[in-house]
Structure 1
């Protein structure tokens, strides 16, 4: 899917995905295309740093456990149904690499890193492999990861309200027709909701001049 999007020149800067999509091939594709990513990984995924003053090596879980208290920042990954979605985050830059190592047409340094999210309520951790232009802030990476929530929420709405998963098609053509119609309906409903929730701009009117009274 990503290869097709790149070939079709779909405009995007980052890709966010959970651990079910794995890493490896998808990372190479995005690096060659000059695209950043925040990809979920398992707790036993191994990370290693190079070219940094303090070498780091180990599983994502081990590295996260060894991060000092000051390394964690409370940030919002975006708005949810109950307001901002707050978590504690830690970001570790592992290596700075030249983009031309993956594509001769690219230039500049990119950073390979590890992003960790900690649930405020129960302390559970989630881990993400990152790739971004050097100097990208942790807030930017957190925001990219937070976009997954909006996408997942959209799919859930499309399933519950428009029957995205209510089909018994037996061919790819039928499946594509069903999904295309549902997504078209979803897009129309999103536009209608946006317009309904947007206050119309009040036109400024000039005060009418008072009539002059002759005495």
Structure 2
């Protein structure tokens, strides 16, 4: 499915996923060979260059290495965490064009502000001049995807299937996601229509009238 998405005309710059996918070395290599950036969650035991476990890279990080950054808005406001980032050695096979590097590898750690012992880890593969803030933004985009899946489960039965073969599963998932897209678009249109009705003036004595996208003051015509 990932290869089909990459082969489509859709513009794809980043891939993000939880640790169930992030720890899969084959997936990471496939994305690197395709030239697609990623920010993938990995378990704390993930092996990485220079350390047998990724948590060891950040165990002795000084306080100033942790930067408070929002990775997107949630139901209760910005999702703010402490983030630290480490550049990893480049791999000549994937990260160079000739003798010039054009991609960078990163390890990231996300630490809870209220509970410093709660730390999540990520591996990233990105363009050479990407910023840590951009990597954090990509990592945070996964929450919106998870919320979309949860809404599709609640409203369209995304996870309510009993199939034995991939074809049946694929058909069910496709129809459920199509139904969810329809509901989302319909809700958005209804919201815009409702907002327009709220803005529309009632039958009052006001001389202000709406013409297209602007408001104009209408003067009464000459009396006869």
TM-score (norm 2): 0.80
Work out the CA distance in 1 between the residues paired with 2:95 and 2:136: 26
Structure 1, gaps ≥5 residues long: 49-55
Residues 58-109 of structure 1: CA distance to partner in whole angstroms, max 9, x if unpaired?
52212112111111111111111111111111111123566xx338989752
1:212, CA displacement in angstroms?
A: 5.5
Q: CA deviation at 1:207?
A: 2.5
Cα 1:120–1:196, aligned 2, differ >3 Å: closer, same or farther?
farther
SS of match in other structure, 1:205: strand
Structure 1 residue 211: Cα displacement: 4.4
Residues 94 and 113 in structure 1, CA contact (< 8 A), matched pair in contact too: yes
Partner secondary structure for residue 27 of structure 2: helix
CA distance in 2 between counterparts of 1:146 and 1:112 reads 18
Which residue matches 1:86? 80
2:96, 2:102 within 8 Å by CA — same for their partners in 1? no
Task: Provide the C-alpha distance between the structure 1 equivalents of 2:83 and 2:5, rounded to a whole number of angstroms.
Answer: 30
1:3 aligns with 3
**Distance verdict in 2 for CA 1:139–1:161, change over 3 Å:** same
- Coordinate RMSD, CA, aligned: 2.6
1:137 partnered with 2:131:
yes
* Larger RCO, structure (CA 8 Å, separation 6 or more): 1
TM norm structure 1: 0.83
Say if 2:177 is the partner of 1:167.
no
8 Å Cα contact 1:97/1:110 also seen in 2: no
**Which is worse superposed, 80-89 or 172-181?**
172-181
Tell me which moved more, 79-88 or 200-209.
200-209
Q: Distance in 2 between matches of 1:81 and 1:5?
A: 30
**How far 1:130 sits from its partner (Å)?**
0.8
Structure 2 unaligned blocks of 5 or more: 200-209
Residues 32, 103 of structure 1: 8 Å contact kept: no
Q: Distance in 2 between matches of 1:193 and 1:83?
A: 22
**Any idea what SS the aligned residue of 1:70 has?**
helix
1:46 alignment partner, SS class: coil
| Alpha-carbon distance between aligned partners in 2 of 1:111 and 1:61, rounded to the nearest angstrom | 20
